[in-house]
Amino acid sequence: MALDKNIAVLLGGVGGAKLASGLIEALPPERLTFIVNTGDDFWHLGLKICPDLDTLMYTLAGLVNPDRGWGVIDDTTAALDSLARHYQVEPWFRLGDKDLATHLLRTHWLRQGRSLTEVTTCLAGRLSLRAAILPMCDAEVPTMVDTLERGELGFQEYFVKYAWAPVIRAIRHQNCESARLPQPVREALEDADIVLIAPSNPWLSLAPILAIPGLRDLLQRAAAPVVAVTPIIAGEAVKGPTAKIMRELGLEVCAREVASFYGDILDGFVDDRRNEPFAIQGLRTIQLNTLMKDQRDKVALARATLDWIGSWAL
Amino acid sequence: MALDKNIAVLLGGVGGAKLASGLIEALPPERLTFIVNTGDDFWHLGLKICPDLDTLMYTLAGLVNPDRGWGVIDDTTAALDSLARHYQVEPWFRLGDKDLATHLLRTHWLRQGRSLTEVTTCLAGRLSLRAAILPMCDAEVPTMVDTLERGELGFQEYFVKYAWAPVIRAIRHQNCESARLPQPVREALEDADIVLIAPSNPWLSLAPILAIPGLRDLLQRAAAPVVAVTPIIAGEAVKGPTAKIMRELGLEVCAREVASFYGDILDGFVDDRRNEPFAIQGLRTIQLNTLMKDQRDKVALARATLDWIGSWAL
């Protein structure tokens, strides 16, 4: 496995952070750039919340709640309990007290006029993270989910408030046509020797990234191989609504559909060894254990993926 | 004591809140309007902090930390500890987690374009307070303290960061000339049967209120008697820098100097029975126990003050 390669990773939340924590152990962190979905971001109680950025930062800093895969370990909820008890504000989105530190500092810096890219770099720096963490864009590009039961919902309403129960009819990336690809994201993709697409939800976490104007083109033109890891194992998602959404969109719940969704940007696809093999012309595939139950699994998947791509002799 | 009188109280933080908690027990709360110093207010970590408003609200809601007289009882500091530990942000102004609920909600509502008056009324309403709590104005009128050792400081820098150690040369109420007296404050003063000036720091807590254009005139023209309670007992302040500031301003530390500072707006002055009696022409005085060590003292002082004013047969 080549340790001198630059790797760019497109990812969403918990599933992506798992692969990230494998990569960070498999490679010098300085070689890694994470390009993170911000379609889930929203304002809540006057604070800017970036769930996927936070999950990745907390994971890489060793601060993540290991049971949930998001939020801060051993966190308390005194502030939110007080809002509920004394002010009758019952936030449907729970924020821990330690977690609030991140949102306060981010919001404070954003209000000073700094970009989300800058702010994220500062936060990651304070957490002593050596990998680059980049939001997919600086503009607000909220993912809107059109549902059968409740019409169009903001992402967090759909995901948290209604616990992804409503049936999805369509997904829209609001304002994405006017979003600009940040220069550091462009450079990371241009400088990458390998681009990985993490096993995050393709429709909710990766599609927003791919919708940023210019990003898809950049991947298509890139000399670097672009390789996705399946989020579907044996007809189900490891976590979250990926399989449910595929059914709602009329798709078969299988890795092939995921590969087809990414389409011609893909050069390779890491499938799970439990899945039925499939072939798509021009697409290299391999079957590995993609179920990351512990840190060993994560590192093993990261290494095997990079070894496999390294063997292509491009 | 007339329970059907409207009482307006001008006050600052802890000392004022003590008298307030006596008044609230002595009278129907609906009769009381508290007009609160906001010269101490400041922005901290992107949050609007209003120390005197908070101290009064927490006191009247029974939430105040009884040892300090400010902040919320049994509060924790997980958010701020996390800021220090993970982000190397060491705030010199401590905010508890429960306390954060107030600052978050206030800041959120202010950012929506509501005035501080509106926001304060909403917060007090959520806390089920029946007395009216009004900021002295909606504009930001920060108290600036010119010090011998460190030049001009913002109030909280002087008070908290440097623990009121620097020697004061002058006090300035920034922007006060352009501040407008809010309509509810004007009405409360016009409708008041009695105006009380709480035993807060005259120079730091009351002077900012009296500096709002029109307020002093309103008190001078008012038919209602205006009565101050001494913050000086036996040559010392009960708490805080009042006596120290008087010495620094070249004043004798005595109740007479306080009465002279308020000047011709005063009709009466509640002195402490430990003090040397003094006389100022046209000023009624009484000596009472003004040291409020417990709730009984607070209610007794409130009742005795109102009874005394009631006996004037105006």
Q: Where are the domains of chain A?
A: 7-310
* CB atoms B108 and A80 under 8 Å: no
Query: The complex's ipTM?
Result: 0.91
Q: Which of A88-92, A306-310, B213-217 has the lowest mean pLDDT?
A: A88-92
| Alpha carbon of B102: minimum distance to chain A alpha carbons (Å) | 7
Interatomic CA distance for residues B146 and B154, integer angstroms: 9
Q: In the predicted model, is pLDDT for residue B1 greater than 90?
A: no
Interatomic CA distance for residues B218 and B186, integer angstroms: 8
Choose, out of B44, B82, B99, the residue to mutate when testing the contact with A (most A CBs < 10 Å). Answer: B82
Q: In the predicted model, is pLDDT for residue B93 greater than 90?
A: no
Q: Enumerate the β-bridge partners of residue B288.
A: B272
| Alpha carbon of B119: minimum distance to chain A alpha carbons (Å) | 12
* CB atoms A78 and B87 under 8 Å: no
> Which of B46, B72, B127 lies nearest to residue A111, judging by beta carbons?
B46
DSSP H helical segments within chain A, as ranges? 14-26, 51-60, 78-87, 97-111, 116-126, 155-156, 183-191, 207-210, 215-221, 242-248, 255-262, 295-310
Count of A–B CB contacts within 8 Å? Answer: 100
Q: Which of B287, B295, B283 is nearest to B259 (CA)?
A: B283
| Alpha carbon of B107: minimum distance to chain A alpha carbons (Å) | 7
What pLDDT does A222 receive?
86
What pLDDT does A2 receive?
63
pLDDT, mean of residues A9-37: 96
- CA end-to-end span of chain B: 14
Q: Which of B94, B55, B51, B84 is nearest to B72 (CA)?
A: B55
What pLDDT does B204 receive?
95
- Percent above pLDDT 90 for chain B: 91
Contacts of A123 in chain B (CB under 8 A): 87
Q: Which of A158-162, A211-215, B297-301 has the lowest mean pLDDT?
A: A158-162
> Which of A72, A89, A111 lies nearest to residue B105, judging by beta carbons?
A89
Q: In the predicted model, is pLDDT for residue B273 greater than 70?
A: yes
pLDDT, mean of residues B253-278: 97
Tally of CB atoms within 10 A around B123: 22
| Alpha carbon of B265: minimum distance to chain A alpha carbons (Å) | 38
3-state secondary structure of A270: strand
> Which of A98, A107, A126 lies nearest to residue B79, judging by beta carbons?
A98
Cβ atoms of A41 and A51 closer than 8 Å: yes
Name the residue in chain B with its Cα closest to that of A98. B79
> Which of A76, A104, A126 lies nearest to residue B45, judging by beta carbons?
A104
Q: Which of B237, B236, B282, B275 is nearest to B256 (CA)?
A: B275
Which residues from A are below 8 Å from B when comparing CB atoms?
A: 45-47, 61, 63, 72, 75-76, 78-83, 86-89, 96-102, 104-105, 107-108, 111, 123, 126-127
What pLDDT does B299 receive?
97
pLDDT, mean of residues B185-201: 97
CATH number of B7-39+130-310: 3.40.50.10680
* CB atoms A98 and B82 under 8 Å: yes
Interatomic CA distance for residues A131 and A184, integer angstroms: 13
Domain A7-310 classified CATH 3.40.50.10680?
yes
What pLDDT does B2 receive?
63
Name the residue in chain A with its Cα closest to that of B96. A79
What pLDDT does B94 receive?
86
Contacts of A97 in chain B (CB under 8 A): 76, 78-79, 82, 97, 100
> Which of B61, B104, B123 lies nearest to residue A45, judging by beta carbons?
B104
Interatomic CA distance for residues B183 and A119, integer angstroms: 41
Residue-wise pLDDT for A39-60, tens only, equals 999 999 999 999 999 999 999 9
pLDDT, mean of residues B189-210: 97
pLDDT, mean of residues B200-207: 96
Q: Please state, rounded to an integer, the average pLDDT across all residues of chain A.
A: 95
Name the residue in chain A with its Cα closest to that of B80. A101
pLDDT, mean of residues A281-302: 97
Give the pLDDT band of residue B148 (cuts 50, 70, 90): very high
Choose, out of A45, A80, A97, the residue to mutate when testing the contact with B (most B CBs < 10 Å). Answer: A97
What pLDDT does A314 receive?
61
pLDDT, mean of residues A142-161: 94
Interatomic CA distance for residues B176 and B205, integer angstroms: 14
- Percent above pLDDT 90 for chain A: 91
pLDDT, mean of residues A151-156: 94
What pLDDT does B222 receive?
86
* CB atoms B126 and A87 under 8 Å: yes
